[in-house]
Amino acid sequence: MTTQQFPVNFLWGGATAANQLEGAYQTDGKGLSLPDVLPAGKQRMQIVNQPDFDFSIDEQKYFYPNHLGIDHYHHFKEDIALFAEMGFKCYRFSIAWSRIFPNGDDAQPNEAGLKFYDALIAECLKYQIEPVITISHYEMPLHLVKQYGGWKNKKLIDFYEKFARTVLTRYYKQVKYWMTFNEINSAAHFPIMSQGLAAANGANDKKNIFQAWHNQFVASAKAVKIGHELDANLQIGCMILYATTYSYDANPVNQVATMKANQENNFFCADVQVRGHYPAYTQSLLAKYNLQFTDLDYTTEELELLAHYPVDYIGFSYYMSSVEEVTQKDHESVNGNLMGGVRNPFLKTSDWGWQIDPDGLRIALNQLYDRYQKPLFIVENGLGAHDKLDANNYVVDDYRIDYLRQHIQAIGQALADGVDVMGYTPWGCIDLVSASTGEMSKRYGFIYVDVDDQGQGTFKRYKKKSFNWYQQVIASNGANL
């Protein structure tokens, strides 16, 4: 196997999202955000998608894990020190919109919220850790969902623009790397997280999903414009969920279905954000849902904005691959982060049924680079597992080390293939609340946090075996795996 040395400036690090780790959900003027109304447990998505879901909190009935997170808000110095001990070159985190604009449509930003990120960024820089900021990661102020109906409403563009301008202006001197929306394409299957759309406010009408995407594309282009006007050297990326998709077999019917699935699930959003225009297949994709492009509310100025302000790089998450099969109905199925699907008999699955496929990451890197010729940043990858703290407060997570080692080897192979990869930030570098299930017991971290699915525990941090392993990977720039 041919692998390549990692570039000297390769951005090794880890990734988190504000709503999944900060906690302190009403501290220092923070407003309620969408994840604050997502209950814990595997049924969280079904609960949210009940037609009468009213986006309110019912503590008699449910526990809300995002309210506590891992209390990073009060532990961030300790957490960043641990990241520094691992040798992180960068740290990807997001800014909670509702800390800065508690309702989303406020006239003035909340200075206390900005002060928290002043301190967080300063703490990173103290250790020469490059901050990588996701402007919006699976959350928005709840008021924007209740009052305006989420991203299907064009007013959200202005609110986001104000939020983006506020944080870009405040931090552009310290922060070079940004992403506009986390996993923007995930709305194809989970519109609640990135668009604030559930069954109760229009998620079942595909027109709303496409309208919300269009609004987000415009908002993203505005953020790129603002950022580049502040400093032309800022690197502002998109962020997509990528699940390498195989045809089940050589049947051309499945091959065509795979091509279509790739367009819809993997490429559509990135095509617009990277190339600056809607792809040629847009009309055929919309026709699948009996829609026309002209059904959407857009202006010529908006399309020009998209053309003038494409993103600088492609951030993406990669956890698993999937299989497309449309000719038979009785295959064994599996779960997944974007969608479940047909089981691939060549792959093992995680404890949560996600298909583990390091070669799929090499393929993803090649596919994305062939298509866009822009730098790629793997900003999420990792294994959610049931970690157990032993009597010595240690977790022997060899399964996670194996998973990460194989994926890093795949990155080395893609580098040898000629792909331009900027960095690698494994997901949930410290244990945090799962986005899809609201569990703490689905752990990804190098650092164990003592809190359980009901929010009980000491919140103490413990290094897992993978902590020292990753430290040695970074110290050797990927040579010592």
Query: Residue 458's Cα: distance from chain center in Å?
Result: 28
Q: What six digits make up the tokens of 56?
A: 């309110």
Nearer to ligand BG6, 277 or 386 (CB): 386
Question: Does 384 interact with ligand BG6 (rule: CB under 6 A)?
Answer: yes
Q: What pairing do the DSSP bridges indicate for beta strands 177-181 and 313-317?
A: unpaired
Q: Is 73 in the site for ligand BG6 (CB under 6 A)?
A: no
The H or E element spanning position 42 is none
* CB count in 10 Å sphere of residue 361: 26
Interface stretch with ligand BG6, choices 69-77, 196-204, 435-443, 467-475 (CB under 6 A): 435-443
Contacts of 275 (CB under 8 A, 6+ apart): 310, 372
Structure tokens at 409: 């080897």
Q: Which amino acid is at 328?
A: Q
The answer to whether 151 and 195 are in contact (CB under 8 A) is: yes
Site size for ligand BG6 (CB under 6 A): 16
SS3 419: coil
224, 168, 197, 187: which is closest to 49 by C-alpha? 197
Nearer to ligand BG6, 337 or 355 (CB): 337
Identified catalytic residue from 123, 130, 139, 380? 380
CB of 136 to ligand BG6, least distance (A): 11
Q: Which is nearer to ligand BG6, 183 or 325 (CB)?
A: 183
As a whole number of angstroms, the distance between CA 209 and CA 202 comes to 8
User: What residues from 320 to 339 belong to the interface with ligand BG6 (CB under 6 A)?
Assistant: 337
Considering the complex, state which of residue 103 and residue 335 has its C-beta at the smaller distance from ligand BG6.
Answer: 335
Nearest CA to 146 out of 52, 34, 254, 6 is that of: 34
- Check if 304 is active-site: no
Q: Is 182 in the site for ligand BG6 (CB under 6 A)?
A: yes
- Looking at the Cβ atoms of 302 and 387, the one nearer to ligand BG6 is 387
In whole angstroms, how close is the CB of 94 to ligand BG6 at the nearest point? 9
Tokens (6 digits) for 18: 């504000």
CA 136 centroid distance within chain? 9
Q: Return the C-alpha torsion angle 178, 181, 182, 185, nearest 10.
A: -140
Beta bridge partners of 136: 181
By CB under 6 A, is residue 436 in contact with ligand BG6? yes
Q: Of the two residues 248 and 268, which places its CB atom closer to ligand BG6 in the complex?
A: 268
Q: In the bound complex, which residue of the shown chain has the CB atom lying closest to ligand BG6?
A: 436
Using the rule CB under 6 A, is 17 a contact of ligand BG6? Answer: yes
Judged by beta carbon, residue 113 or residue 445, the one nearer ligand BG6 is 445
**Cβ pair 239, 317 in contact under 8 A:** yes
Contacts of 479 (CB under 8 A, 6+ apart): 5, 6
CB of 242 to ligand BG6, least distance (A): 11
Among 138, 148, 159, 372, binds ligand BG6 (CB under 6 A): 138
| Interface region with ligand BG6, contact rule CB under 6 A, candidates 156-164, 272-280, 288-296, 430-438 | 430-438
Q: Which of 427, 446, 467, 470 binds ligand BG6 (CB under 6 A)?
A: 427
Which tokens sit at 423?
A: 């960095």
* Minimum distance from residue 438 beta carbon to ligand BG6 (Å): 9
Q: Does 16 bind ligand BG6 (CB under 6 A)?
A: no
Contacting ligand BG6 within 299-318 (CB under 6 A): 317
What positions carry a catalytic annotation? 380
Q: Name the site residues for ligand BG6 (rule: CB under 6 A).
A: 17, 20, 138, 182-183, 241, 317, 337, 380, 384, 427, 434-437, 442
